[in-house]
Amino acid sequence: MYLEDLPTPCLLLDRAVLRRNLKRMADHVQGLGGVLRPHVKTHKSQDVQAELKRAGGTRGITVSTLAEAEYFFAAGERDILYAVGIAPGKLDQIAGLMRGGADIKIILDSAEMARLVASRGVELGVEFAALIELDVDGHRAGADPEGSALLEIAAACDRPGIKLGGVMTHAGGSYDCKTTAEIREMAEQERRLAVRGAERLRAAGHAVPIVSIGSTPTAMFASSLDGVTEVRAGVYTFQDLVQAGLGVCGKEDIAISVLGSVIGHQRAKGWTLTDAGWMAMSRDRGTEHQAIDYGYGEVWGLDGRPLGGLILSGANQEHGIMTRGAHASGETPDLEVGQKVRIAPNHACATAAQFDRYMVIEGGQLINQWERGRGW
């Protein structure tokens, strides 16, 4: 089938671009002597995971939901890091995975949670492996690598039902960087503070076998992985407009797009309507504070090239409004009703989450369909 023949809206995945992205990151991390623990929250697909393994340089997976853990465990993955602060109500499910043979690790950032986990571990007859999350950039969660709470958390892990497995970070602050030089600085800050936290724990007598860092921007611009045991990244598999705005990739590296059909015009307003609304694209407006705001996505032709500066400037549930972007130059194309377009996403993870499958393309043709997991 050709793109013109596919139903809309649907999620396209360009396999050639995917493979190029995977190789680029694998080569970079391996060149620094590192190993990737890919974050599967972006793709949630056994088929994409097979492509990741084909690219090489990976060990285990990172998940953001227990539905992902269950899905990939059923597909044969055993080494799993659940990289969201643990909620006590999820420990029974995690214990079930452990009894089935999963080497699953959880994260926490307080002594209070460590004690709760330990207590539940004793009740369930298991020993939970826990990484302490470190705050390296003030972005979200985590303990101060230089603070006293870090040692208190580690002490709370020194009891039955729980075992300290190491430390982890997420440099989400890299998404606020304005230049690639700033991302490089953030990458080194992330590495240095993660290693510092591990060193303090070791000096206090705690074993710290895992020092895990990660975000796509910092992974791509890291210049050293000294003291780090693994790098976690996910969106690099597909890339998106936010990553392009950060300078992490080019638009030609964006592997997914949403195929939509033109369904009408409001010519007096300069609108062209499509059947790809926010149910197809998601509500993520990640480029809003970047140099170019693409609304809900940038409109491409079927050849994968930007189409006359059009963006998806507005979106209702099943309607998208395509207009000329502020950055546009030249004439605005007059699209015919029924014509199909591709829309590049702001955030690959959020857009992919709207669909249950990828329409895998290469050379403008459909070559396969890959299902993806969903839910929490």
Domain ranges of the chain: 3-9+249-371, 16-238
199-202 — which CB contacts under 8 Å span 24+ positions? 200/145, 200/146, 200/150, 200/151, 201/132, 201/150, 201/151, 201/154, 201/164, 201/167
> What whole-number distance in Å separates Cα of residue 168 and Cα of residue 150?
12
Q: Are 278 and 316 in contact (CB under 8 A)?
A: yes
> What whole-number distance in Å separates Cα of residue 185 and Cα of residue 361?
37
Cα–Cα distance list, 274 to 157, 271, 323, 332 (Å): 54, 10, 11, 16
At which residue do the structure tokens 């290469």 appear? 362
> What whole-number distance in Å separates Cα of residue 202 and Cα of residue 212?
15
Q: Which pLDDT does position 371 carry in this prediction? A: 97
What pTM value is reported for the model? 0.95
Looking at domain 3-9+249-371, its CATH architecture is: Beta Barrel (2.40)
Q: Are 376 and 66 in contact (CB under 8 A)?
A: yes
Q: Which pLDDT does position 320 carry in this prediction? A: 98
What is the pLDDT tens value at each position of the chain, 376 positions in all? 899 999 999 999 999 999 999 999 999 999 999 999 999 999 999 999 999 999 999 999 999 999 999 999 999 999 999 999 999 999 999 999 999 999 999 999 999 999 999 999 999 999 999 999 999 999 899 999 999 999 999 999 999 999 999 999 999 999 999 999 999 999 999 999 999 999 999 999 999 999 999 999 999 999 999 999 999 999 999 999 999 999 999 999 999 999 999 999 999 999 999 999 999 999 999 999 999 999 999 999 999 999 999 999 999 999 999 999 988 877 788 999 999 999 999 999 999 999 999 999 998 899 999 999 999 9
Q: 9-35 b/e with 16+ CB inside 10 Å = b?
A: bbbbbbbebbbebbebbbebbeeeebb
CATH level 3 topology of 16-238 = TIM Barrel (3.20.20)
Token pair listed for 313: 């400037």
